[in-house]
Amino acid sequence: METSLHRQLKAIYAGADGRQEVVCGGYRIDAVCGGELIEIQHGSLAAIRDKVRSLLEGHRVRIVKPIVARKVLIKLDGRDGHELQRRRSPKRGKLLDVFDELVYFTRVFPHPRLTLEAILVDVEECRYPGRGKRRRRSRCDFQIQDQRLLGVVGRRSLATAADLRRLLPARLPSPFDTAQLAAKLGLPRWEAQRIAYCLREMGAVEVVGKKGNSLMYRTARRKAA
């Protein structure tokens, strides 16, 4: 079921002159504006990988990837029930979370006709008791009734390997390993390893050797596509 958040973002990106829910190349597109096909993708980028690859053969495509920066949780007593509680989730999203999805998109991005726009959003999420299709029951089970946009608090357009390189922290050693990258970003090393994998596969950095068991990277010298 389409959420209010999805409808709100479609309206924002379609604008006054664009169209929504357009069929193109056998696919339903969220919005079309200025000749650009716009897909709002809340779920995994892997789910639209083949669709995007096909559309890129003859169209400019913009993928809008919302990342929840802050979330207000609203507990309901039923699916369409009354509000029981409202609280702010302690979880915070960040721009670098886009790499959680780019890891599945390394064979599509970058592309001359593709732009990936990561947007940080504040939302409110309505929940009610239930376990959906889950087999195991828990007292903490809930289902999401809806998500609504409270505001867009940041955005970054990514179109080239150079755009990805700009996400790297300043004063990063050259060459560097993922332990140094993790320390600069304030992230666990496994997250830095995922980021390094994406950067390498997309041509933003290159491997220049090893130090012990660690690969050493530097920013790629070849011109970004």
Write the CB contacts of 127 (distance below 8 Å, at least 6 apart in sequence). Answer: 73, 74, 75, 76, 142, 143, 144, 145
Write the CB contacts of 93 (distance below 8 Å, at least 6 apart in sequence). Answer: 67, 68, 69, 70, 120
Q: Taking the chain (225 residues) in consecutive chunks of 10 residues, what is each chunk's mean pLDDT?
A: 92 93 93 95 94 95 97 88 89 93 93 96 91 55 89 95 90 93 95 96 94 92 53
In angstroms, the CA 131 to CA 174 distance is: 49
E strand or H helix at 151? strand 142-158
Whether residues 144 and 178 share a domain: the answer is: no
pLDDT of residue 224: 43
Final residue in a domain of this structure, among 144, 159, 174 = 159
pLDDT of residue 225: 42
Whether residues 121 and 203 share a domain: the answer is: no
pLDDT digits (tens, 9 = 90+) for 75-117: 988 878 788 889 999 999 999 999 999 999 999 999 999 999 9
Domain count, the chain: 2
Residue 12: closest CA among 126, 113, 124, 155:
155
Whether residues 143 and 224 share a domain: the answer is: no
Is the pTM higher than 0.85? The answer reads yes
pLDDT of residue 136: 57
Contact call for residues 27 and 39 (beta carbons, < 8 A): no
pLDDT of residue 79: 77
In angstroms, the CA 145 to CA 136 distance is: 20
pLDDT of residue 140: 57
Whether residues 26 and 110 share a domain: the answer is: yes
Whether residues 60 and 169 share a domain: the answer is: no
In angstroms, the CA 211 to CA 157 distance is: 34
Work out the widest C-alpha separation in the chain, in whole angstroms: 60
**What does the DSSP 8-state code read for residue 176?**
B
Whether residues 54 and 154 share a domain: the answer is: yes
Helix, strand, or coil here: 82?
coil
pLDDT of residue 129: 85
State which residues form the domain around 191: 162-225
